[in-house]
A and B are shown apart, each in its own frame.
Chain A
Amino acid sequence: MAGTVKDEILHDHNHDGIDRRGFLKCMAWAGTGALCVMSGGVLKSYSLSRLPGLSPKEAMGELSFVQISDSHMGFNKPANPDVAGTLKAAVDKINALSAAPEFMLHTGDISHLSKPEEFDTVDQILKSAKPKDVFYVPGEHDVLNDDGKQFLERYGKGSKGGGWYSFDKKGAHFIGLVNVMNLKAGGLGTLGHEQLEWLEDDVKQLKHSTPIVVFAHIPLWSVYPEWGWGTEDSAQALAYLKKFGSVTVLNGHIHQIMQKVEGNVTFHTAASTAFPQPQPGKADSPGPMKVPAEQLKSVLGITDVNYVQGQHALAVVDSTLA
């Protein structure tokens, strides 16, 4: 399925939303964009070109929030010499959405070098966004030199351990996880024993029908381990979420839009607001990808998520900044 872009793709697996054997892949590469609506065991994907034809009921829900990622404030190399400008463009995009999002998720790499002034600049730019609440998880660039102390002081109020936490919005349960701390030589992202224990406990009392939204910086699925694009112990975390009918996992880190559906879990990575990175294995390294200046905004973006209560439906829409 990778790279397939059709106007409409219909997957129907076990009819119960909890497909144990089925293994489905639906990938939307940078620049294509997709809207995915999950309802029961059926996942419908539309390319962005179909959006104008969708009814508001199909495209919107009762809870709307937006994900931004990888602002990398402080980055100033040729791949994007103006990351403040593109973050402002992302805010403009958010403010122009027809259904105003209630809050924002930032899935990490807020800063490029963990400098106080980098965080300050992002905070200042995000103040002009209509949604006032922002929920953060750190990227590896946010916890440099101080094991995340500054990040926790700024954004970690009320969080546990290394910064993980959960909250509820309109019947959906949101879980922010941290997988960029204590990384081991040769390894991938890591959640760690303490956080996994907390997660098991956090979801124990929830009804199986509760929609779950997990957000973390490094993908919680194995995108490309050769470049470190995965999390060592994510399988354990996902095992605790198996009982739920609707699980949406939102990540950043890889600076491109990618999606995979596996049973009842939809994995989604957001575009960066700063610079693109190459597709897995398509370059010597995952370093910043230089595209012609006039194309830059078409490979940066935001992700708008809509949830329809009672229907297990969750729609993920990626928009570029172009």
Chain B
Amino acid sequence: MRKSVSIAVLTMALVLGMGTIAVSQRNFLAGAQQKAETTEVKIDNFSFGPGTVTVPVGTTVTWTNRDDIPHTVVSTDGAFKSKVLDTDEKFSFTFSKAGTFPYFCSIHPKMTGKVIVQ
């Protein structure tokens, strides 16, 4: 757990560090806590893309339905559940705990995806 968090911090440090070399490490850590990561998942042609996303703890994942047909995003173990999403509607969930979160569309259960939080 501690290792994965430090890897995530290190990754962010590398990414952000390129643009903000002068930022001290202390300030940077404070900034990382405020500015959470975001990840997008698109729903196209009755599938989640990408089907599996791997994100650091604290990431907000946003799903966008781009089909002509409504879909839902429902965690298999009850961790999260969207309302029905019509075309272009979005659903977001912030993952505050590490783990693997399989999910599916409760209207079209053949549509499945996974969020791996590290």
Contacts and interface: CB of A to CB of B under 8 A. Distances in A.
Size category, B interface: 20 to 34
A185 B70 contact: no
Contacts of A235: none
Interface stretch (B7-15, B90-98, B100-108): B100-108
Given A185-B102, A227-B110, A285-B45, A144 B69 contact: no
A188 B111 CA distance: 11
B68 A79 contact: yes
- Interface size range of chain A in the complex: 20 to 34
A226 B70 CA distance: 19
B109 A226 contact: no
A228 interface: yes
A249 to B, nearest CB: 22
B70 to A, nearest CB: 6
Interface string A101-135: 00000000000111000000000000000000000
B83 interface: yes
Q: Is the interface of B mostly helix, strand, loop or mixed?
A: loop
A145 B86 CA distance: 12
B102 to A, nearest CB: 7
A287 B72 CA distance: 15
Binding site of A, secondary structure by majority: helix, strand, loop or mixed?
loop
A186 B106 CA distance: 10
Interface string B31-73: 0000000000000011100000000000000000001111010
27 contacts: A77-B68, A78-B68, A113-B86, A114-B84, A140-B107, A140-B108, A141-B70, A141-B107, A144-B70, A144-B84, A144-B107, A183-B107, A183-B109, A184-B109, A185-B102, A185-B109, A185-B112, A187-B109, A188-B109, A227-B110, A228-B110, A284-B45, A285-B45, A286-B46, A287-B45, A287-B46, A287-B67
Interface of A: 77-79, 112-114, 140-141, 144-145, 183-188, 226-228, 284-288
